[in-house]
Structure 1
Amino acid sequence: MSRHIKLAQKNEIGLVYQLIQEAFQEYDGKLDPPSGALRESEESISKKISELGGAIIVWEDTMPIGTALYDFTGEYMYIGRVSVVPDSRGQGIGKELILYLEALARERQLKTTRVGVRLSIPQNVIFYQRLGYQVLNHIFYPEGTDSWYVMQKNL
């Protein structure tokens, strides 16, 4: 089996959308407020990609198994919607997606990357800490039911 990551093309927006939906489905009805990932549409993803960023897809041979979105915001790259389908988790794919995007940020001469991580999903906070991300800000949802960290890594 061969795994590779590539930049998503405009005609793959539907695939990116499907991968995000599949990866975030486990949180449906479990987070308050609900995950914004489940409210994404092909149109919203296309808009994000066409403005200041893009998406990547990780493939296992000819099977897409993960994706992530990114955008260039000022002096850093923001990484979001990091998604690995449930059957492919636990194999280091999330880490591969992040390392690929960090390399892309370096190619763009950027010195930092940032992610947003909900505190109600503590395993994700630990995942990013292990990759060298540190808490930059702690932000609360208006409802007061949850909060998230903006985490940053210096490249």
Structure 2
Amino acid sequence: MLAAFKRYEGDSVPSSALKETAATVKRELDEGTIIFSLTEQNEIVAVVKCKLEADILYFSRLSVLPSAQRKGLATQLVHYIEQYATNRHLKYVTCKVRKSENGNVRLYTGLGYQIVEEDINRGVPTVTIEKSMI
């Protein structure tokens, strides 16, 4: 059973939360990025980065440890950030996903997200997905 959702802002960046340097994560947090995580037995098992942009909540880097996959944790995180957006009266939740990540695209479209744009990002085909919160 999951222990809790946890929110990281400012100086509280656990090194296990993301495979990035502490300096890059700190810079993102200083620029308004919010990191939510799920824990099991006091261990972070899933994380997602979010950024508010006007009336949109943009999320990225949703990751679940391999040992914790296929338990619905990604879905729980998505529902949590959707509730976070709804509580702040934001209009949309959006994300960019590699087009080749069929499982991720299926997950998000299965949760009601629509593909609104296709693009090439640094040579990688991506899709932008979006869900209305209103």
TM-score normalised by L of structure 1 = 0.78
Q: Which amino acid aligns with 2:28?
A: K
Aligned to 1:85: 65
Letter in 2 for 1:141: N
Contact conserved, 1:52 with 1:73, CA < 8 A, in 2? no
1:151 equivalenced with 2:126 (yes/no):
no
Name the structure 1 match of 2:12.
11
Q: After TM superposition, what 4+ stretches of structure 1 lie above 3 angstroms from structure 2?
A: none
The number of residue pairs the alignment matches comes to 132
Q: CA deviation at 1:64?
A: 1.2
Partner of 1:120: helix, strand, or coil?
A: coil
Q: Which among 80, 86, 94 is matched to residue 74 of structure 2? A: 94
Structure 2 distance, partners of 1:85, 1:62, is 14
Tell me which protein shows more strand as a share of its residues.
2
State the 1:97 CA deviation.
0.7
Percent identity of paired positions between Structure 1 and Structure 2: 22
Residue identity matched to 1:152: E
1:76 aligns with 2:77: no
Aligned residues of 1:13 and 1:46 also touching (Cα < 8 A) = no
Deviation at 1:121, TM superposition (A): 1.1
Gaps of 5+ in 1: 22-39
CA contact (8 A) 2:116 2:130 kept: yes
CA distance in 1, matches of 2:89, 2:38: 24
SS across alignment from 1:12: coil
CA root-mean-square deviation: 1.5
CA distance in structure 2 between the partners assigned to 1:2 and 1:128 by the alignment = 22
1:52: how far off?
2.1
- Higher RCO, 1 or 2 (CA under 8 Å, sep at least 6)? 1
Task: State the SS of the aligned residue for 2:107.
Answer: helix
CA distance in 1, matches of 2:12, 2:122: 36
In the alignment, is residue 120 of structure 1 matched against residue 121 of structure 2? no
